[in-house]
Structures are given as structure tokens and as C-alpha cells.
Structure 1
Amino acid sequence: MSQNSFGRPGQIRPGLAVSTLFALSLFATLPPSVALAADPQPTRKDSSAFIKPKEVVLSASVDPAEAKAGDVVTYTVTAKVAPGWHIYQYKANPKGDPTRDTYFDFFDPAGLKPVGDWTAAKKPIRKAEPAFNNEILEFYENEAKWSLKLQIPPGTAPGPKILRSQAIFQICDASSCKPPARSTLPDVSLTVLAGVGGGTNASAAASAVSTPPAGSEEKGAADEAALTSEVAQKAQQGLLSFLLFSAGGGLLALVMPCVWPMIPITVNFFVKQGNKNKGKTTGLAIAYCLAIIGVFTSVGVLVSFFFSATALQNLANNPWLNTFVALLFLAFGLSLLGLFEVRLPNFLLNASAKGEGRGGMIGVMFMALTLTITSFTCTFPVVGGLIVMAANGEFFYPIVGLATFSSVLAFPFFLLALAPGLVSKMPKSGDWMNSVKVVGGLIEVGAALKFMNTAEIGFGAVPEDAWFDASLVLSAWVGIAAVCGLYLLGLFRTDHDHDEVKIGPGRLLIGSLFLALALFMAPALFGTPPKSRLWDLVVGILPADVGDLDRPAGAGGPVANEGKSKATSNDPATAEREEKSVHGVVWGMSYDAALEEAKASNKPILIDFTGVNCANCRTMEQTVLNRNEITGLLSEFVTVQLYTDYVPIGSLTKEQREALAEKNQLLQIDLTKEATNPFYVALTPDGRLIQAIGGYRTPAVFSEFLNGALTKNKDQDKAKVAQADPAH
């Protein structure tokens, strides 16, 4: 994802919750005939005319303007800057707040393959910059030129090609700077002539290390997934197919761990509302359900459109937001335990008798917004494709799809919201209500620890060095489960309990289950986690270093970690090549290194687009990728993991890790038109897309995906050999 004009990736202006009405009005007024965008679009929309500086003029050209298939041409961007102003050097993925360095989004290379990276025509000026506290910076005055070599793939049909790119830049003078801007360059026309070119240009292209945008080369059945996401393909099949697919995604989301922390906070909120309103919470429950649908849809569409397709994922991983959510859960948990009373500020409440009702509605909206933001850490497969469509300016299908998806997601929360009202009608409901509050409060304190881990990672820690790591969080959960069980079985009472607590069948059963859960999770603290489907679910909501808990007894873990290595270099390109993890097989972290190895070994590439804070990614790593039948297939690939939230390489700075994550985000969107984690992409050894699949998948489905990719790669190899040697 690229940075926005005035802030860091994923930041949101205040008041987005109010945008619900706007999104719902669009849903009601947009005609079904709104078509999917046909032309490629930049990752982010151009800046408004008010932001684009008038002191710089950008142009683009290609040399030669006519070439044959196999030839290499040079695409050049020229920036002419007004006297007194300067534009900054090129960097592949600049970081900073705000953006200073120049870079490019080559969003439509028309099937041509980039060879190497952008190069400047001359060395930049290097001097202290007054506008940035006299920091030594590199920039150009008067005129700057950057060039990128492009190879026309062999076999390209003759005819015109239109090359399109976007420049992202900032200009400054001696005392001030213009806001960072994004500007799509004028179209550049290249004519592909009949015949076969190449010669020295072709050999130069073959020897260069490049990272071509796979899927933008040869048009064929194997490349279809690179052109449209799975959800976009469903939209092209018709509205009914699209709606069923979106609803199915909502059902799948209900079993994913990302939404689980909202279960206790929902129950606890409506317990408190039931106490205040004597159990009459049906109206608030309906409002909560509608708020989830409205906020999920509007935030998903509007944030993606105004910022980028990965803005919500970045926002969900924002350290300050996660700190706030952790403190919120902690405050609600301690309040339910009776330590203090959480009240909304007076200015949010009406002084009349309707004040409590208004406070309840504000709480409902706030909880709906919290559910929306926290759930985007899952980047559900259906949602991932829809927000990419919204980021490209499409509205009808994203609004309909997100509304359908969130309706299915919201329904169980509607039932949860009604539950406290039903409990209040039970015999001795006061005792039951207090038990629900105590247990719910303890669970919320446990949930707060996971959000503290996410915040700690966001502030710069790598998973294995975090304070709130998997061992600490799991220890707390084991203790909380044991305390809940002992409490429900009547072994102790709180200050708010009745003088004599009677243990009925309900409390006896639930208390026993809590104790069983504590005993179930405890062995994992000693290196022997249980092997069951329930543990697979627990893995998904534990911190990212959960794999370190699985150590073979008496071995200290050398077998499980064979091939794992930690980077020592502080150079990002080198560190990516040094860092290796193990999930069934050894996974690298450098896409360039994977391309090199694939070409040398003639193996296909498997990319795992993953995330440190991705619950479904942990579940796949711990329950699917390490299975014997899967590791055998994975060994046939060159495997590489590309993190899209934070790259967990301890030898790099926080800014460097974020820069690498942003590069991986852009690569994923370029390859798949998806913003989903995990997302698995199979490529040929020369970087062409074979097929892709996203989200948590069962071992059987994932095995079928890997076998299919291997078969397609072999078929393409045979076709290539036959084309090169027609006699055979």
C-alpha cells in the first residue's frame, strides 16, 4: 500500500462512523448495471488538483518507440522543476512522515517485463535540508530523469501498447514543502513490430535480476486469477452467484478467531444494559445488528476508496489503536468484576430520562466500530477482494457484497445480544447475571493481553522478543480458565455474590468445562501442545510466536527448527535473504532470492502472503503446512513467506520492516487483486502466475491446490519445450 497525502498508511479521519448513512444511501441508489472497472488503475487515486504542485511538470517517454518481441526498451520519466524548488531522489519503497522520496507505481506495463530497477540519469545533490531540521538529503534541481528498462516478452503480438504509470513525489524550497502528491503520467505509446527481436538486448534482460509483475505477461487461462480476484469473477457470473459467495464468506468468518474477542464484550455490554433497562434490550440488539452491517460496509468501502486497499489491514494493526482496544477491554473487564463503574462522558448523554437509552445507542455504535476494525486483522478472502474493488473506484458490488457478508456475520451477535435478556427471565436471574459478569470480566482481561501483543509488535518488537508473547498470554489464559471454573463451582465468592451460592446443573457443567479447558491448554506451556481441532482454534488467537511452544520432548526443538536462521545484516535486501523460518519446510523471506533459486532449480515458486497478526495464518502454519502429506508437496516448490503487516526480521529497524511490508502489499495486489491473508500464489520458475488460493483451507483442499499447481507447471513446461522444438 502507498502512503496517503497527509499521514501514514491506513490513518482515518474522524467521523467515519457517520459515513454509514452515506454508504447505505449508495446501496439504495446505485444501479445494478454498474460495471467492473476494465482498465488497470494505480494502487491509489491521484491527488486532487489542489494538492498537485504547479511548480513541477512531469512527462514520460519510451525509446525506441518501435521495437520487436524480445527487444528491451527504455521508459523514462522527466520532472522539470521551477527555479528555487527541488524534487527528491528515487527510492523503491520510501518511508517517512510525510513522504519525501520519489517513487513510481507502474500500474499498466502492457505486458512488458521490468528489467532491474529505476535508475537516475545523474547523481543527486547532497546537502543539509532546512525544511527537515538540516537532515542530509539527496534531491534534484531544475530537471530530473529516471529510467526503467522493459522487455517485450517473446511471442508478443504486433500492435500498439500503452504504458501507464503514476509518480509519487514531494517538492520543497529552502524554507517550505508542498504536500506529497500522486500524479498519473501521460500515456506513452509503444508499437510492437512484426518479427523477432532480441539480440544483445535479450541477453541483457535474461542476465538481470528482476521482479516482474507476474500475471501481466502472457494472456492465458493460467493468468486469469491475476486479472480479477475470485469475488470479482463471481460478480461477472451474475448477482445471485455473487450474493451466495458473499454469504458463504460470512459463514466462514464466524469460525475464524478474529471475531471471538467480541463475543464476551457483546454479552457483557448487554448484561449491563439489561440491568439498567430491566432486561428490555431487544431494541438495542436490533440496533447493534444493523450497526455492524452499516459500519462494516461503509468503513470497508470508504476507507478503501479514500486511502487504499490495505488501509484497513494497516489500521487494524495500528499500535495505538490496539493499545486503546486493550485498555478498553481491560477497563470493561475490571468494571464487570466490580472494581469501578465505566460511564460515558456526560456530554454524550442527554440530561433527560432518555439519557440511558442514548448512552446505550452510543455504546452500540462504538462496539460495531470495534468489531469492524478488529475483524479486519483476518482480512477474510471475500472481503479482501471487495476492498480492492472499492479502492479502484467500484461501488455497487463492494457495497452489496460487504452488506451481505456482514449481515451473516452480524446475526450470531444479534442472538448474543438477546441472551442477557433471556438470562434475566431465568429463576434466580440475579445470581446468574452476576456470574456472567464475573466470568465475562475475566475473559475480557485475557483478551486484552492479545491486543497488547499486537500493539507491542506495532511499536517495533519482533514476535519472539515481545513481552506479551505466546507463553505469557497462554499462561494467563490457563490461570483465568482455572479461576472461572473454581468460581462457578462455588469454591469462592466475590463481594457481589449472594451469601449462599447454590450450584445448579448449569454452573456445575460450565465450571467443569472451564477447568477442563485449563487442563487442556496447560501442557502447551511445557512444550507438548495437545493435538486436536480445539487446539487448532486456540493457536489462531495466540501471539505469532505460538510455534515456539511446540518443542519435541527432550530435544529442545532442534528437529522442529532445522533450517531456521535469523538475519544479522541491517541491510534489508541482505536480511531478507538471511532470514528463514520453518513451517513444515524451510521458507525464505526474499522474493528476489526465490526467483533466482526457482530459475536455477527449475522449480515453481509458492508465495505465502502472510502477517504477524494474522490469526488464520497461524492456524495454517501450525495445523496444515506441517502435515506430512503437505510437506511432501511443498518440497517440490521454492517456498517464500512475504509479510504484509510487519516483517519480523529483528536485525532491521521498525521503518525498514514497514517498508518491506509495504513492498509485499503492493506485490500481492499486483499479482492477485486481493488483500487477503493468508494468500497462497503459485508461480512458474520465470515468475508467471499458475494459480492462487486464499484464506484458511483444510489439508485436503490445500493439497489439491498444490497438486494442481504442480500439474499446471509441468504442462506449461511441456508446452514451452514443444514450442521451442516443433519437431518433437
Structure 2
Amino acid sequence: MKRLFLIIIGMICLVSAQAQLADPVHVYTQLKETGNQEADIIFTLKIDNGWHVYSTNLGNGGPISATFNTVKIQGATLVGKLKAKGKELSKFDHLFDQQVRYFEHTATFVQKIRFTQANYSIDCYLEYGACNDEMCMPPSSANFKTSGKATIVDNANKEEQTQKSIDNASTLSDQSTAKDDSIAIDSTANTSAATDTAAVAGNALWTPITQELQSFDNTTPDDSLLYIFLAGLLGGFLALLTPCVWPIIPMTVSFFLKRNKERTKAIREALTYALSIIIIYVALGLLVTALFGANALNALSTNAWFNIFFALLLIVFAASFFGAFELTLPSSWSTKIDEKADQLSMRKSFFTAHLSIFLMAFTLVLVSFSCTGPIIGFLLVAVSTQGNILGPTLGMLGFSIGLAIPFGVFALFPSLLKSVPKSGGWMTTIKVVLGFIELAFAMKFLSVADLAYGWRLLDREVFLSIWIALFALLGAYLMGWLHFSGHGPVDKSEGTPIPQFFLGLISFAFTIYMIPGLWGAPLKAISAFAPPMFTQDFNMQSGKTVEAVYKDYEQGMEAARAQGKPVIIDFTGFGCVNCRKMEAAVWSDANVAKRLTDDYILISLYVDDKTPLARPIEVNDGKRMRTLRTVGDKWSFLQASKFGANTQPFYVLLTPDGHALAPSRSYNEDVKQYTDWLDNGLSRFRAE
């Protein structure tokens, strides 16, 4: 048993490390001659699950369109425009207020050319934008460079085509620069990204600080590993009170009463039972993460159809708890396992004895799953944004420990069953309360799907109206004013129990707290659950979003040195949907806005800014040579080389000389966490 536990811990350690740089699109290029002196330059994109790449010609003000760009072309000329092929999807994006087109899984972009000379030389690249439901990549480019000998050009057209090629090269002269005039930058983990180059200021501001960021606990309080473990532990204790788990207590006691009464052996078997419960649940967390992958689990948590399915599942469980029907697993499953456990327990073999205990623990998991399933599922979805296997595993570890401790005690002291209250009216009350809570969480999952598809069915005021109604009805139930027919007749002579009265009072107070949110109050206590503020049609709050004064890195850092203030770098994009969500939902908060404007120098760097640089910069990004042609390219390279990240939104707190003050942050609409993060960075800056 110990060996199995050590193997699981080893698996966690082996797979927990994960780089922060995302690489969701894999590009394959080729030149394919089609006859008639023509050929196709083909870019084939393989797109990771959960990501999508935008199509061509989406217009201004929208996301990043796929475009074909030439650096140098000789012996050939372009024919027509870039064409997109594949299963193109389309939807109306309310944030951009326009129809957008995009590809999932795979896409092909084709640019047709015509050869004008027998010998040709082509240097070009495809630029595209990729996003998922939580973040966007900066404008990415796939380079294609080739030269060779083409099919002989028809002499009658040769002179005319050659002249077209010259004219085309002249048109593109502003985009091309001789290699000798480029600036080489070696961006490795051990050297500065700005060595001896005027283009990037050649100073410590460009020195990589990835290790500094990693030295912090690079998680916010809500996502910290300790928080995840404690949340799982609380879920395990809560599961003990569910109606599906409660009947397992007498089954456990009955099983261990049949066994040896020797105290040492009883302690060993009780520990084995508790450890078996822990191993089964942790293995479940590892299995789910291994099957889908940590990143895929994150993508799954933001997938619209998955959220709809999970919301419907919670609604079904809620209806069951309200008494509409009974949800149970086939009795034959648990009965057969229980019988097998009893048979094995009668044998004297050490192995068979412990196997019987493991089967008893497995029976507990099976029988209780109809109640623990929603708790486990919500836990796995909630922690999947950790991006690695530690989050789901620690969550399941906490859950299993919370559930295993009391059952281990009952296995050790079977006589304690006498002190356990019998199931009755209090159990029905717990079921109904859980039903209301599951309905509330179902609205959260439906809200995620609603935002993903832009249906605007669950805007913030609609969501709050439903929650207000749910918690008002919960208060009415706890006060004894509301009853469900599926629970039989109610004895009104006993009155409302005192604990139940206080719970009802809390529910009514929470209902009143949410009402101002219908007019735009931020409601920080539920900001992580309610839809973002920009979905609310009627908002009496000012809702003024902060706008950065500085959009240049060096200028902003110079201002910070002059004013003696810390810096917040906002890596964003004109086409970044989630950047706008953060600005609308978080930066509009009065406390956040005050800190950003008064306490920090805010620098917003747009990674899709198309403004050309004074001259292209050729860099080595650690994998290949690439050319920085625009301001957006420069900021994208800064983010990757200095901070080891390449998705937006991405926020970093720095000293005026470019050192980290706190862990980085990305997309998370929790206002309190963002405020605490700013306060922690400010406190550390003042202490230096």
C-alpha cells in the first residue's frame, strides 16, 4: 500500500512542471506547382483543442485577420489574395459588434503566385491570430523562404511578367530590409534580450526575470495550492452530510465489526481503509487529468457545451434532492463488491485481507458517487486553471482526506455508531439546501456557455435576478414557509429549529445584499460567479475604465523612475477579447482604478500594434530566428524574452529598474484578488 502511494506521489512530481509559454498552433508550409507557370504557397495549421485561429479579411476593429506578407520576392508575382480553406465557423461577436470567422483544429491558407522567371526566390510569412476562451496569442507569424527553378516561362509573356515582378518588389520595398542592416539579438535564458542594440535600449530593462517571477508563489490567493487543498478538504466534510454517503456508515461499521478485535490490527486496518479511500479519489483526479491533460482540462472548463452539460447535470441532481425522483446506482454493483469484500475478509492471507478493505472503500466511492459526483466535478473544473496536474490532484487529495477521516474513525471504533444521529427530517433539509446551491452553481456554468457563444441570455442582471429568487426561496424553505410534495407531510406543530432559523436569516440577508447589483453595484463577494459588468444593460455606476498614459515600455519606465513609483505592465491587444473583459469587470472598480492611476505607472503594450518599427530587428527567440517588423512584434518579444509568457491578458508588477515585485497575473475577473495583488506589490516596493 505504501509503495502504491509513493508511486502516485512520484507521478505527481514528474508531470507537475510545465512551461508558461503557450504554443497552440503548429504550422507546416510547402510550395506546390499547379501548372500554367503557377504555384500555391500553402500554410497548413494544426490547432490545439480549445483554441481557434481567425480567418482572412475581418476588417478593422475586430480580431487579428490572417494576412500574407512578403519580405522579398524575385522571379514571381502574386496572383489574387490569400484564401482560407477548411471548415470555417462564424458567429456574431458582441464585444467587437461584428461577425467573426475562424477555424478550429485545422486550417489551410493558400496564396497563389505566377512565375515570371525560370529562377525564383521567395521570402514571405503568414501572420495570424489565435485565441481560446481565456486568452489570446500575440500576432504570430509563420515564415516561408525558398528558391529554385520553375517551369520555363512562356517567352511571349516573359517580359511583361518580369516587369510586374519588378513593380511588385518596388511596392514592397518599405517592408524589406537587407540582412546586413538588421540588428541581431540573442535572446537566451542566460543573456539579456537587449545586448548592444539601440532598438531595445540596451539596458537592464530587457534582462529576463523569469526566475524572479518563479521565485514568488506564482498563484493568486484563490488559486494557491493551499487554498485548493483546503477547498477540497471542506468538500470532503460536506460530502459526509449528503444523503448518499450517510447510509455507508452502518455498512462500514458492520464490515469492521466482523473482523479481528485485536487493537493493533484494528488500527492498521482502519488506516488501510482511510488510505484506500484517499488513493481511489486521488487516482480519479490523476486519471481525469491524464486523459484530458492539464491544459485540455482547462480548455474543457471553458468549453460551452461542457458547461451546458454540467449545468444540466446539476439541475437533475437538484430536482432529485427536491424529491422529484431518487438517483441511485444499480444496487447489483455495490452488492457484488460488498459480497466480494466479505468473502475476502474471511481469508487469513494478508493480501486478501487488505484487498477486501480496498474493495470496501471502492464500495463507498460507488454508492456515494451520486452525491459526491457534483462536488468532485465542480472541484476539478474550478482548479483546472492551475495549468498543471498539481491543482486537480491536491484538490482530490483534500477531498478524499476530508471524507476518509470520519470513516477511518468509524472503522477504528465501530461502537461510535451508537452516537450518530439517525437520518430523518434534518437529512431532508440538507438535501433541499444542497439542491438550491446546485441550482445556483448551474447558473454559473450556463453563464460561461452564454458568454462563449454571445447569446446574451444570462446577462448580469438576469443572472442576479435568478440568484436573488433562488436564495429568497431557500430562506423561505428554511423558515418553514415553503415545502416540497416529494418529502411527504410536514409536521407544523414542532416549529422551525433554531439553527435552521439562523441559516434562513443568512439566506435572506444574502438576497438583500445582491439586490443593488441589479443597478450596477459591484457585489465583490460574488464577482467570481456573476457575469462581467459589461453584460449589464442598466448600470448606474460610472463604470469608467482606466486607460494607460504610456504605451511605450521605455517611456513608461523612465516616467516611473522620475516619479518614484512602481510599474504595472499590461500586455494586451486590440483584438484581445479577454483583455476587454478584464478592463470592464476589474479596472472599472473604484478601488482598482484608484491604485492604477495614483499608486502605479500603468504601461499598456499592444502586441498586435501594426505600427512599423524604424527598421526591422532580427532576433533569436531560443528556437529559431525571427524578424521584428512592428511595434507589436517588439512588445510580444519583450513579453516572451523577459517574462517567459506569450498570452494575453498578462500583468506584471515591476520596480522602475525592471525587477519583479509580485507574481504575474492573467485572466481572472476576481476584483478582490486583483486589489490584493496590487497592494502586495505596492507594500513590497515601499519596503525596499
Per the TM alignment, residue 402 of structure 1 is displaced from its structure 2 partner at its CA by 7.1
Identity %: 18
Superposed CA deviations along residues 29-84 of structure 1, whole A, max 9, x for unmatched, are 7999x99899x99836989xxxxxxxx8x8xxxxxxxxxxxxxxxxxxxx565889
Superposed CA deviations along residues 629-655 of structure 1, whole A, max 9, x for unmatched, are 443124x32346999xxxxxxxxxxxx
Q: Matches of residues 105-116 of structure 1 in structure 2 within 5 Å? A: none
Indicate the SS of the match to 2:244: helix
* Distance across 2 between alignment mates of 1:366 and 1:251: 22
Indicate the SS of the match to 1:540: coil
* Distance across 2 between alignment mates of 1:492 and 1:434: 13
* Distance across 1 between alignment mates of 2:482 and 2:250: 28
Q: Which residue of structure 1 aligns with residue 367 of structure 2?
A: 360
- TM-score, length of structure 1 as denominator length: 0.51
Choose from 592, 613, 625 the match for 1:626: 592
Does the 8 Å CA contact 2:465/2:518 hold for their aligned counterparts?
yes
* Distance across 2 between alignment mates of 1:221 and 1:639: 20
Per the TM alignment, residue 493 of structure 1 is displaced from its structure 2 partner at its CA by 2.5
Per the TM alignment, residue 450 of structure 1 is displaced from its structure 2 partner at its CA by 0.8
Q: Which residue of structure 1 aligns with residue 165 of structure 2?
A: none
* Distance across 2 between alignment mates of 1:613 and 1:431: 49
Per the TM alignment, residue 516 of structure 1 is displaced from its structure 2 partner at its CA by 1.8
Q: Matches of residues 535-684 of structure 1 in structure 2 within 5 Å? A: 535-545=523-533, 548=536, 551=539, 556-557=540-541, 560-562=542-544, 582=545, 585-586=546-547, 594-595=551-552, 606-607=569-570, 621=587, 626=592, 628-634=594-600, 636-639=601-604, 672-673=643-644, 679-682=650-653
Q: Which residue of structure 2 aligns with residue 123 of structure 1?
A: 78
Counterpart of 1:637, as a letter, is L
Q: Which residue of structure 1 aligns with residue 304 of structure 2?
A: 319
1:285 to 1:451, Cα distance in 2 relative to 1, 3 A: farther
Q: Which residue of structure 2 aligns with residue 28 of structure 1?
A: 10
Q: Which residue of structure 2 aligns with residue 43 of structure 1?
A: 23
Does the 8 Å CA contact 2:41/2:112 hold for their aligned counterparts?
yes
Q: Which residue of structure 1 aligns with residue 453 of structure 2?
A: 459
Q: Which residue of structure 2 aligns with residue 217 of structure 1?
A: 193
Per the TM alignment, residue 517 of structure 1 is displaced from its structure 2 partner at its CA by 1.6
Indicate the SS of the match to 2:224: helix
* Distance across 2 between alignment mates of 1:376 and 1:678: 19
Does the 8 Å CA contact 2:44/2:108 hold for their aligned counterparts?
no
1:253 to 1:129, Cα distance in 2 relative to 1, 3 A: closer
Choose from 433, 436, 440 the match for 2:430: 436
1:358 to 1:249, Cα distance in 2 relative to 1, 3 A: closer
**Residue 252 (str. 1) matches residue 227 (str. 2):** yes
* Distance across 2 between alignment mates of 1:318 and 1:420: 41
Counterpart of 1:519, as a letter, is I
Per the TM alignment, residue 327 of structure 1 is displaced from its structure 2 partner at its CA by 0.8
Per the TM alignment, residue 520 of structure 1 is displaced from its structure 2 partner at its CA by 2.1
**Residue 470 (str. 1) matches residue 424 (str. 2):** no
Does the 8 Å CA contact 2:79/2:111 hold for their aligned counterparts?
yes
Q: Which residue of structure 1 aligns with residue 246 of structure 2?
A: 274
1:438 to 1:415, Cα distance in 2 relative to 1, 3 A: farther
Instruction: Tell me the number of residue pairs that the alignment of Structure 1 and Structure 2 aligns.
Output: 504
Does the 8 Å CA contact 1:90/1:101 hold for their aligned counterparts?
no
* Distance across 1 between alignment mates of 2:241 and 2:53: 42
Q: Which residue of structure 2 aligns with residue 227 of structure 1?
A: 210
Per the TM alignment, residue 675 of structure 1 is displaced from its structure 2 partner at its CA by 9.3
Counterpart of 1:499, as a letter, is V
* Distance across 1 between alignment mates of 2:606 and 2:682: 16
Superposed CA deviations along residues 531-569 of structure 1, whole A, max 9, x for unmatched, are xxxx53312221123785994xxxx34xx234xxxxxxx
Counterpart of 1:43, as a letter, is D
Per the TM alignment, residue 598 of structure 1 is displaced from its structure 2 partner at its CA by 5.5
Counterpart of 1:327, as a letter, is L
Q: Which residue of structure 2 aligns with residue 506 of structure 1?
A: 499
Counterpart of 2:532, as a letter, is A
* Distance across 2 between alignment mates of 1:595 and 1:436: 57
Q: Which residue of structure 1 aligns with residue 257 of structure 2?
A: none
Does the 8 Å CA contact 2:193/2:641 hold for their aligned counterparts?
no
Q: Which residue of structure 2 aligns with residue 88 of structure 1?
A: 42
Higher relative contact order (CA 8 A, sep 6+): 2
Q: Which residue of structure 1 aligns with residue 517 of structure 2?
A: 524
Superposed CA deviations along residues 229-281 of structure 1, whole A, max 9, x for unmatched, are 744x47xxxxxx99x9999932234688xx89x95996399422324765859
* Distance across 2 between alignment mates of 1:438 and 1:622: 37
Per the TM alignment, residue 436 of structure 1 is displaced from its structure 2 partner at its CA by 0.5
Per the TM alignment, residue 453 of structure 1 is displaced from its structure 2 partner at its CA by 0.7
Per the TM alignment, residue 326 of structure 1 is displaced from its structure 2 partner at its CA by 0.6
* Distance across 1 between alignment mates of 2:505 and 2:639: 46
Counterpart of 2:10, as a letter, is A
* Distance across 2 between alignment mates of 1:490 and 1:633: 51
Superposed CA deviations along residues 566-590 of structure 1, whole A, max 9, x for unmatched, are xxxxxxxxxxxxxxxx1xx2369xx
* Distance across 2 between alignment mates of 1:222 and 1:402: 37
Does the 8 Å CA contact 1:611/1:678 hold for their aligned counterparts?
no
Counterpart of 2:381, as a letter, is T
Per the TM alignment, residue 407 of structure 1 is displaced from its structure 2 partner at its CA by 3.7
Choose from 693, 696, 705 the match for 2:681: 705
1:46 to 1:450, Cα distance in 2 relative to 1, 3 A: closer
Indicate the SS of the match to 1:439: helix
Indicate the SS of the match to 1:637: strand
Does the 8 Å CA contact 2:654/2:661 hold for their aligned counterparts?
yes
Per the TM alignment, residue 471 of structure 1 is displaced from its structure 2 partner at its CA by 1.4
With 87-96 and 433-442 compared, the bigger mean Cα shift is at 87-96
Does the 8 Å CA contact 1:543/1:613 hold for their aligned counterparts?
no
* Distance across 1 between alignment mates of 2:284 and 2:213: 24
Counterpart of 2:377, as a letter, is T
Per the TM alignment, residue 323 of structure 1 is displaced from its structure 2 partner at its CA by 0.9
Does the 8 Å CA contact 1:270/1:420 hold for their aligned counterparts?
no
Counterpart of 1:429, as a letter, is S
1:671 to 1:293, Cα distance in 2 relative to 1, 3 A: farther
* Distance across 2 between alignment mates of 1:117 and 1:416: 66
Counterpart of 1:606, as a letter, is I
Per the TM alignment, residue 375 of structure 1 is displaced from its structure 2 partner at its CA by 1.5
Per the TM alignment, residue 480 of structure 1 is displaced from its structure 2 partner at its CA by 1.6
Structure 1 runs not aligned, ≥5 long: 1-20, 48-55, 59-78, 103-115, 150-164, 170-199, 207-211, 235-240, 388-397, 530-534, 563-581, 644-663, 713-728
Per the TM alignment, residue 324 of structure 1 is displaced from its structure 2 partner at its CA by 1.0
Indicate the SS of the match to 1:510: helix
Does the 8 Å CA contact 1:595/1:605 hold for their aligned counterparts?
no
* Distance across 2 between alignment mates of 1:430 and 1:119: 77
Indicate the SS of the match to 2:651: strand
1:140 to 1:99, Cα distance in 2 relative to 1, 3 A: farther
Structure 2 runs not aligned, ≥5 long: 57-67, 89-106, 127-140, 146-176, 196-202, 254-269, 340-361, 561-566, 609-634, 666-671
Does the 8 Å CA contact 1:291/1:365 hold for their aligned counterparts?
no
Indicate the SS of the match to 2:480: coil
Indicate the SS of the match to 1:694: coil
Counterpart of 2:570, as a letter, is I
